[in-house]
Amino acid sequence: MPLAVAALSHAPSFGNVDPGGETFAEINTAIDEVRAFVAEYDPDLVVVFGPDHFNGQLYSLITPWLIGAVAEGVGDYGTTAGPLPVDGDAARAFHAAVLGEGVDIGRSERMKVDHGVVQPLDFVFGKNFTQPIVPVFVNAIGLPLSPMRRVRLMGEAFGRAARAMDKKVLFLASGGISHSPPIPRWDGAPGTVHERLVAYAPSPEERQEREQMIVKGIQAIADGKAPSDPLNEEWDTLVLDVLRSGDLSPVDGWENGWFMAEGGSAAHEMRSWIAAYAALSTAGPYRLAVDHYWAVEKWGAGFAIQAAVTA
């Protein structure tokens, strides 16, 4: 069977902060293109690789990656909340198969995911979607991180496992390219931050207050009233070009410190894209069906949307 990828950036600012000009309309048109691509591909199952922002995955048990056999969305930034339509049998089969490939991966029967996993699902399938999924948390901000080569190998293991199933599988990737939001780090942080990184469980009111604060911060950047690290369009293009090429061997040489220095504090979210394209590559050459990129200065983020399928 063929394999396919839908890869979309996510952003708390989506629908909350005007990126200016025609950008928001163009992004929505590109999402429509991916939605049509997925409808034509008609997957039986969607494996979604995505990060978390210390909402569902905390230092109480941080892992490089994790499969959810049962999962719920925390519902941040208006994304689908509550139990998600996870195909538990498929998730457990992927868990066994990826472990069998020699890639150590955990499994959760009570997984929580935030907008890093859910927002692109909402983009493609609509709020409160029913499409069977297998969520895979890919750590992008909980330092230290695994070598990038391991991300490629993890993705390839998923690809071979998918090809062994009697299902048409779509790999959905979620993550921004160059962007550098403030992220709490464990090393050197005070005890109050350590507690937040281990046991964050806000009330709905506390979560809403925090989200409003973050959106206000992005709006201040958009209004020119707050600084933001500059985007790195050249680096964004370099990363996207490797994914477009079908030759993922350069990924092995991407050192973690270089990746963050060039792309910013949250650039490692692109690990989800690398895993998805590595999975797709196991079925042979592929072609891009959707391919868009914006350097959205007012969001302080490189934003891309792609879709690809086995050639």
Show the tokens assigned to 188: 């050197």
CA 150 vs. chain centroid, Å, equals 17
Please give the Cα distance from 37 to 291 (Å, whole number). Answer: 12
From the number of C-beta atoms within 10 Å of its C-beta (0-12, 13-18, 19+), residue 253 rates as: exposed
**Could you give the C-alpha distances from 66 to 52, 109, 255, 268, in angstroms and in order?**
11, 11, 22, 16
Task: Give the ranges where the chain is alpha helix by DSSP (H).
Answer: 23-41, 88-100, 115-125, 148-163, 191-199, 204-222, 233-245, 256-263, 271-281
3-class DSSP state of 223: coil
115 in catalytic set:
yes
Annotated active-site residue in 10, 53, 115, 268:
115
Of the candidates 10, 53, 95, 179, the residue annotated as catalytic is 179
Count CA within 13 A, CB hemisphere, residue 216. Answer: 6
Q: Give Cα 59 distance to the centre of its chain.
A: 19
3-state secondary structure string, 58-94?
CCCCCCCEEEECCEEEECHHHCCEEECCECHHHHHHH
For residue 310, the tally of other CB atoms under 10 A from its CB is 16
| C-beta of residue 9 within 8 angstroms of C-beta of residue 124 | no
The residues annotated as belonging to the active site are 115, 179
